[in-house]
Chain A
Amino acid sequence: MNAEKSPIEKEKRPSGIRRFFSGIPALGWLVGAVAAAILEYYLGDPLADAFGLPKIPVLFGCVIMLKKPLLMPGALMYVLLIYALPVGIISRITSPITNRISLGLSRMPLWFSAVIHLALLYLILRIWADVSDYRLLMLKLSMIAIMLTLSLNVINGYMGEFSCSHPGFMALGAYAASVFTVGLLVNDRLLGQAVLPLSLGHVLFPIALILGGFFAALGALIVAIPSFRTRGDYLAIISLAFMFIVKSLIENLEVVGGPRGMGGQPDLATLPTVFIWCVLCIWTINNFVESTMGKALNAVRDEESAAEAMSVNTRKTKMIAFMFGAFWAGVGGGLFAHVLRYVNPGTFGLKKLAEVLAMVYFGGLNSVIGSIVGAVGFNFLSEMLRPLAIFKWIIIPILLILVMIFRPTGLIAFRRFDVKQILSPRLKSKEEV
């Protein structure tokens, strides 16, 4: 805890801005961000007016800067005044207090401290998203992307297979959950009258999602069983074939609308629902990969025969990993269907596959935090570059190629997601507390 005494710390001691901010715990940053979000909520409109912006810049001013380069100074000033300065200054000023609080929290059970941090995070997202519906949709989609990326990382990163079937799992989950909710709660042309009142929706929605995940996990068996005998490229093909089969199957099922897709899902995927499921997903997957089962996955990836010699049941491990990853992909798919309130089989094609794979390898293999960074980064990047129209799809691939060339395993690969360390207070010396 006392960094001054450690010689290694002394050598690597950061200078300038980094040192200025190094004493701020996670709680401090969250408090600063809450302040910034509240500031934007109340002062955003007049400030945007003052800088000559048509409205509050939705994504940190990037969109408006690309659309109208003349407004760049205004947008930069806005970002500086609303986000950068308040976050920096408030989190720095409050850092003695927040450090003391997080020191207190670190003596309490970890879950308690985590819940408080998450509540603050949710507060930030809530206030931030209240400014525009576009932000709300983006946040939901980013959180779903986190779930998909993490669950693919279990298979591709931790187990080292190259699975291409994730859109298929997603489609299974999306359709199973949609059929459940639409069939029970909505008067639908294809699935008949509603059986239950819509007010039960929030009770039934978790069941629908779990059902979707369950179906996806069943589908994963089809991919998992051939994986006992083969690995690598053949498994890639098997999973690819599985994806095509699922897509084609849904296209031929008239009950769920066939190629026209399926709409009319009730509006159940609200921000708190998606947030809670996303947190659940991160929590379970992190626990899974930290467990002995997760270590067994790494063993299977590194050397299967050695793993088997060390009494790892490789078949069971592979099957569980596939089904576990597919379950969360199915849940993510179910949420996806209820966020957009329309799905069609074309969504779950090769384009989605390229996107999910890109997010996993961009963020980093074998790392929970890498997946989060990858999913959020990729989503925000692709939204921020939207004004560039199709050139967006030239810039993003070039970025990804550069990431692959300079960091072949992704930005933050092979890193443990240590919640305790992230939430711990950053104390420089005892005097400062």
Chain B
Amino acid sequence: MTFFLQNLINALQWGSFYALIALGYSMVYSILMLFNFAHGDIFMTGAYIGFGVATGLLALVTSGFLIMPNWLILVLTIIISMFLTSFVGILVERIGYRPLRDAPRASAAITGLMIGIILETGNLALLGATRLKFPPLIVSHTYDVGGVFLTNKKILVVLVSIGLMLALDQFVRKTKWGMAMRAMSYDFVVVPLMGVSINVIAPMTFAIGSGLAAAGGVLYGVAYPILDPYMGILIGWKAFVAAILGGRGSIMGAALAGFLLGFIEIFVAMIFPSTLRDLIAFSIVLIILTFRPHGFFGRPYSARLRL
């Protein structure tokens, strides 16, 4: 039982990264009916921006310009890097997606992929191939709760990501901007005629998604403090799988499916040899999609009557 609980905690932590990234995919999809394939690399960019912000703040503190505790630095790092990375998202929308809004959807997928490659390579060219170590902002404590080991980092990751998801949910449901987004996802042809500009809503969606990915990146840096330019590829594609599994365009579905994918991966690694992790996890995904092709929360979709 403790073994199970232990892995549950691990799965929650691992799943929250997937969930945070999958949210960005899903939100962009719900507005533009397109997937932002640069999103995994935006996650990477967010982690690197977080690294820069954290190092800068730490330098300011050690040189005596500012006096603040380490946890405040972490909070500031998350907020500032979310803010800065959202501009990367806006840029991606402006360069890669707005000119292609009327083009075939696959073309926009290609530009997304290519922007992702540019982000990776640009990073490599700027910072070199050495991996960077995320500055240790909080000292790791381990708590023993009835045989289950919790670290404060794990608790932090899970709490912050769930908090962000709840905040997003409130934003989408309670604010006027959120209402505009929901309307746009309902029909992006008619709603612009009602005075809601798609050129405002689409960049905003990209910005929010990128901000969430950046938060995921910083948290990832806290939990696994090694950054390299290609860290976003695999996790990004897996989060894309989670976004589809949740049902495209469904925000809650994306979050839940992100956690589910984390659970599947951790528990597969727990029961089977860990080299089989991808094999079994993706086989499960394949089986789920064969029987439920529209994901968990997606609208049922018939190949015979296409919109």
The 8 A CB mask of B257-285 against A (1 = contact, 0 = none) is 00000000000000000011111001101
Q: Are A305 and B301 in contact (CB-based, < 8 A)?
A: no
Residues on B with beta carbons closer than 8 Å to the beta carbon of A79: none
Q: Does A93 contact B (CB under 8 A)?
A: no
- Would you call B241 and A231 a contact (CB within 8 A)? no
**Minimum Cβ distance to chain A for residue B281 (Å):** 8
Q: Are A233 and B237 in contact, CB atoms less than 8 angstroms apart?
A: no
A251 CA to B282 CA, complexed, in Å: 14
Residue numbers in A under 8 Å from B122 (CB-CB): 394
Query: Interface code B110-130, partner A: CB below 8 Å = 1, 0 otherwise?
Result: 110111011011101100000
Contact of A308 among B117, B275, B278, B304 (CB under 8 A): B304
Complex CA–CA separation, A240 to B236 (angstroms): 13
Chain B window 6-19, contacts with chain A (Cβ cutoff 8 Å), 1 for yes, 0 for no: 00000000000000
Residues of A within 8 A of B104 (CB): 365, 408-409
A244-B289 in contact given A304-B306, A361-B110 (Cβ < 8 Å)? no
Q: Give Cα A305–Cα B304 distance, bound, in whole angstroms.
A: 5
A361, B108: Cα distance in complex, Å: 10
The residues in A between 385 and 415 inclusive whose CB is less than 8 angstroms from any CB of B are 390-391, 393-394, 397-398, 400-401, 404-405, 408-409
In the complex the two chains form, is A404's CB within 8 Å of B103's CB? yes
- Per-position binary interface string of chain A over residues 234-253, scored 1 when its CB falls under 8 Å from any chain B CB and 0 otherwise: 10111011101101110110
Q: A404 and B286: CB pair below 8 A?
A: no
Q: Per a CB cutoff under 8 Å, which of A305, A358, A398 touches B306?
A: A305
A248 to B268, CA, bound (A): 14
Query: With contacts A240-B237, A409-B104 known, is A397 near B114, CB below 8 A?
Result: yes
Q: With an 8 A cutoff between CB atoms, is A50 at the interface?
A: no
B170 at the interface (CB under 8 A from A): no
In Å, the complex CA distance between A409 and B103 comes to 8
Contact size range, A: 35 or more
- How many Å from the CB of B206 to the closest CB on chain A? 16
**CA A233 – CA B293 in complex, angstroms?**
10
Which DSSP category, helix, strand, loop or mixed, fits chain A's interface? helix
B110 touches A404 (CB 8 A): yes
Q: A156 at the A/B interface (Cβ < 8 Å)?
A: yes
Residues of B within 8 A of A244 (CB): 278-279, 282
Q: Are B286 and A401 in contact (CB under 8 A)?
A: no
Interface flag for B233 (CB, 8 Å): yes
Bound CA–CA A316/B22 (angstroms): 34
B95 engages A249 (CB within 8 Å): no
Q: Is the CB–CB distance between B279 and A249 below 8 Å?
A: yes
Is A134 on the interface with B (CB-CB < 8 A)? no
Contact of A350 among B114, B125, B234, B295 (CB under 8 A): B234
Contact A248 B286 (CB under 8 A): no
Evaluate contact between B293 and A401: CB separation under 8 angstroms: no
CA distance A236 to B103 in the complex (A): 18
Q: What residues of chain B lie closer than 8 Å to A391, measured between beta carbons?
A: 121, 125
19 A-B interface contacts by CB (under 8 A): A226-B286, A230-B301, A231-B306, A232-B105, A233-B35, A234-B293, A237-B289, A241-B282, A245-B283, A305-B304, A358-B110, A361-B110, A365-B104, A397-B114, A397-B115, A401-B95, A401-B96, A408-B103, A408-B104
Binding site for A on B (CB under 8 A): 29, 35, 95-96, 99-100, 103-111, 113-115, 117-118, 120-122, 124-125, 233-234, 237, 240-241, 244-245, 248, 275-279, 282-283, 285-286, 289-290, 293-295, 301, 303-306
| Residues of chain A whose beta carbon lies under 8 Å from any beta carbon of chain B | 156, 162, 222, 225-226, 228-234, 236-238, 240-242, 244-245, 247-249, 251-252, 303-305, 308, 350, 354, 357-358, 361, 365, 390-391, 393-394, 397-398, 400-401, 404-405, 408-409
The 4 tightest CB contacts between A and B, nearest first, are: A408-B103, A397-B114, A248-B279, A230-B293
Given contacts A231-B306, A234-B301, 10 further A-B contacts (CB under 8 A): A226-B286, A231-B303, A233-B248, A242-B286, A248-B279, A252-B276, A397-B114, A404-B107, A404-B108, A405-B111
